[in-house]
Chain A
Amino acid sequence: MTNGWTDIKNTDMVLVMGGNPAENHPCGFKWVIEAKRNRNAKLIVVDPRFTRTAATSDLFCQIRAGADIAFLGGMINYALQNNRIAHDYLVNYTNAAFIVKEGFKLPEDGLYSGFDPQTQTYDRSTWTYEEGNDSGGVVTGHPTTSATPLPPGAPKPLPPLPGKVAYDLTLQHPRCVYQLLKQQYARYTPEMVERITGIPKDQFLKAADLYTSVRKDGDMKKVATILYAVGWTQHSYGTQIIRTAAMLQLLLGNVGRAGGGVNALRGHSNIQGATDMGGVFDIWPGYLKVPNPTDTDLATYLKRITPTVSKPDPWESFNYWSNTPKFATSYLKAMYGDAATKENDFCFNWMPKVDRNYSWTQIWDNMYRGSVKGLLAFGMNGVAIGPDSQKNIEALKKADFLVVGEIYPDETSDFWRSPGVSADETKNIKTTVYRLACAGFAEKDGSMTNSARWLQWKNAAVPPPGDCRLDQDIVAQIFLKVRELYQKEGGKFPDPILKLTWAYSDAQHPPLAEFLKELNGKALADLTDPKTQVTIKKGQQLPGFAWLKDDGTTACGNWLYSGCWPEAGNLTQRRGTDDPSGLGVYQNWAWSWPANRRVMYNRASCDPSGKPFDPSRKQVWWNEAAQAWVGIDVPDFKPDSNPKDHMGPFIMNPEGVARIFAPLAAFADGPFPEHYEPIESPVTNAFHPNQSNNPVVKKMKTAADKYAGPSDGYNIICTTYRLTEHYHYWTKNNPMNVQLIPEPFIEVPVELAQELGIKGNDKIKVTSIRSYYIAKAFVTKRIKPMMVDGKKIYQIGIPIHQGYRGIQEDADRDARTILNRLTPTVVDPNAYTPEFKGFLVKVEKV
């Protein structure tokens, strides 16, 4: 979230799309209701199903699953056509005025410039800014209409962004970002929106008019927010859906403001924190890019990943990521301590280097192919999660060993006796499976980071039952065992294992508080701030990331968390309920990254002169007397940057401004989002039938990977979802939740049920080309048939929660099939998230 749960009460307008917070985040959704009650905020819900969130809305649009970019692109077009835009915000806080290099081409035919059909990738060298100065409205060159041919030979590394960007503050230059944006979304007319999304034109226009009404006549007082969840991420163009939302918010000047922003509701309790910690293959803690093999030494790596300023000459750009060398070096010092010295490049080459995709679906694909031989799964049920659960089961059959750390028996640890595996087959499954009894949430202390970026410390209430062990003890003990074996026996490249810092007070049972202190970081030498003459003594906790150094005198496990445990102690334990501004900031409740800031980019809540757009919702402002930014929140800005220096508010971008146009390597599939069809879709792309899908998306190629279209007889769209009474594959072990929703069901539109002769409670079978799923039919008016591009389309919805281990499952009271047997293994090219939403099935009565 750019903002936070309690901040939603400040909004005037809410768009919920790709999420269903009334059912999936009920205690957070109350803040939408507060805004409706107290501010007369309006709520627009766009979803394939009439959800309980939709039931509280002022306007509901039923959308075809996967057509989100068409809807949002249509909104952008509507805002531009009707002058519902934040003009000054756009010119000063985004790259709308930047001029794009000649040779860049928009995807009228579905392809941006630089596409190579052989490799299915883009040469992105034309996706950049023109070098130069103020064009003052003078036109040089024209938009390109044909693709730039690719130069022969291997792809070259991309040139950096120009330091001085050509720009046109009148926004008239035909290649300025604003004009390209207009051109790109001019195709997204209300008629096209209707053809693609299935939302009738008049309904769409109502939604577009209502949402953009916050910027009626350019007035900047009102604010709109967007809330989304995995209904957006789980598509083969999911990242671009979210980008379209961000662009719409920038166009309307809603980012950085109380009651605004782009807000990922997020699923798991610590999905935010786990990612902040680098728990995914492509980042180190704090979103530092992982090194690749071209990074022969630390200097090369830091040069590659540290952005350089790229902006109009007279403007300022803070470019906060220019501190990357401090963050990365301090991380290496946290990893390797005294072993990491300037002379040995702080052990940089001890860190694994990657040059391809090692994401979730690749783990299972490569296990299936035999190269991944061992898997450790802690609190993650990979078989049930899928996609294509059966492929994951087949993969596990080929592994040497599997370690599962869980509190309940799950589908993954029982894969070798999953339904359909015969006794004979079990004998031939050679995988050794360790099932380790872990501790539940109430048995562990530690901090978790919610979607509002609040780190909240919890205390342990009870010890783990029986012979269960704390998860952290188990992983520590496994590591220490491996280290002991390398000490005794030697082996391949043991140094990184032998020299990893492990100075915890109890090595076998490391206290989590000591890890949080390590995350915050400490001084390894006396440090003095030359400006304030404040000194931090060697060994003391750092006050925040501004103190980090790139010379090895600081150690910090995660720069973003620096400040959470200064010398004063553990700030994530704070429970101050004071909120003097009444804006739901709660500065003294827990601690929020970065730097205890609650609303990100909050400099953008002020006009260029530093005055709040809405005086009744003052967050930060420029204090001329103090020559400083002050406010009720921590300013997300250089604290002493005078507004007349025109520093951009988006300090994490080298441009200093937000990116309407995302240049170079930012995205794999285009600097603007374009509508593509899901990999399995009942229709072809209405914009460019010859390029229906996202051109850079690759299908998997093992025998288990199958994809179908309507010509194969699959023509009903299936989407997956979650229920308020259940949590993933966890609460099927919990008597109360099982009483509430005892068995799986399939939501089927009344019209489809009539066509197929299905009544409520009939057992039905849903088949995709990969597998089938059996459950009772729940015949519903919540999903209506739609007209998409002149074709009558049915959608069905299936909750994900059941499997083959659980209270009902073990009592043989349900079909014991896993929903994700149906879903395809195909991923978004930026975030590598699988397309769980919107695949094709057949439906029949059993």
Chain B
Amino acid sequence: MELSRRTFIKGAIAGGAGFSLLGFDLTPAVAQMRELKIARATETRSTCPYCAVSCGVLIYTIGDKAKNVTPQVVHVEGDPDHPINRGTLCPKGASLEQDIMNPRRLLKPEVRRPGSDHFEEISWNQAIDEIGQWIKKTRDETFIEKDAQGRTVNRCESLAFIGGCTDTNEFNYLVVKTMRSMGLTYIENQARV
């Protein structure tokens, strides 16, 4: 059997005890050796969100999985099993931990009202309620059932959706499904630009 990287590490640590045969006792030193930061971490397989090579990454989190405990990311590295990147990451992938835990993250919904010079907090319910109303109002005011030649077109040309290229297939499918159902014709993503 091929020696995987992880069994190798385990073997290397266990091998430490064997050195006592050398005539001096390494046990206290081994006992005091700091445990690997990721030893008791949960390993989650993920995919780098940046370019289309889609390198495999391993995200290590610590947390006891109790309901009120939020797992903490302690380490991110390239997945050595991944056939394409084989454990390597580029300067962007190597800094993913800072992308996951970043003080600049937006943490709540906000709204900037007409004429205002700042964002203000808004509850999720209120934001979704208002956005729903905007969409319905705009769609109702501009929906085109027939074109100039009397042909059925059933489209809404006054609303646009953009994005999705760093999100999942499932998210993109959900977007296209819901937006097309509302009659949107302006659906575009980064593939165009």
Contact = CB atoms under 8 A, between A and B. Distances in A.
Contacts of A24: 51
A491 B142 CA distance: 11
Contacts, number: 481
A833 B193 CA distance: 6
Contacts of A512: 168, 170-171
A253 B123 CA distance: 60
Nearest to B178: A479
Contacts of A734: 95, 98-99, 102
B131 A434 contact: yes
A500 B165 contact: no
Contacts of B180: 278, 284, 335, 351-352
Contact of B153 (A267, A352, A460): A352
A776 B192 CA distance: 30
Contact of B73 (A351, A461, A558): A461
B84 A28 contact: yes
A478 B152 contact: no
Interface stretch (B5-13, B18-26, B30-38, B42-50): B42-50
Interface string A557-576: 11001000000000000010
Nearest to A451: B52
Interface SS of chain B: helix, strand, loop or mixed?
mixed
A56 B159 CA distance: 47
B147 A371 contact: no
B190 A448 contact: no
Contact of B83 (A358, A432, A461, A584): A584
A493 B183 contact: yes
A315 interface: no
B189 A423 contact: no
Residue in B78, B130, B164 with the greatest tally of chain A CB atoms within 10 Å? B164
Interface residues of B, number: 116
A458 B143 contact: no
A475 B171 contact: yes
Contacts of A462: 59, 61, 70-73, 100
Contact of A447 (B70, B104, B149, B169): B169
A558 B191 contact: no
B134 A460 contact: no
A814 B62 CA distance: 38
A437 B151 contact: no
B59 A516 contact: no
B71 to A, nearest CB: 5
A379 B55 CA distance: 20
Nearest to B121: A467
Interface in B142-162: 142-143, 145, 147, 149, 151-162
B106 A279 contact: no
Measured as residues with beta carbon below 8 angstroms from the partner, the interface class of chain A is: 35 or more
Nearest to B136: A485
B88 to A, nearest CB: 5
Given A268-B190, A435-B119, A493 B52 contact: no
A91 B151 CA distance: 45
A736 interface: yes
Contact of B176 (A271, A278, A513): A278
A515 B173 contact: yes
A496 B86 CA distance: 46
B95 A25 contact: no
Interface string B74-87: 00001001011110
Pairs A-B, 9 closest by C-beta atoms: A446-B168, A466-B107, A481-B132, A450-B54, A380-B163, A266-B52, A515-B170, A441-B49, A352-B155
25 contacts: A269-B48, A278-B187, A279-B175, A352-B154, A353-B151, A359-B188, A417-B117, A429-B115, A431-B114, A434-B111, A437-B109, A441-B49, A446-B170, A447-B170, A450-B53, A454-B54, A462-B70, A462-B100, A463-B70, A468-B108, A474-B128, A485-B136, A492-B139, A512-B171, A734-B98
Given A377-B162, A734-B99, 11 more contacts: A274-B189, A274-B190, A279-B164, A279-B165, A379-B164, A379-B167, A380-B164, A382-B162, A432-B112, A451-B53, A465-B107
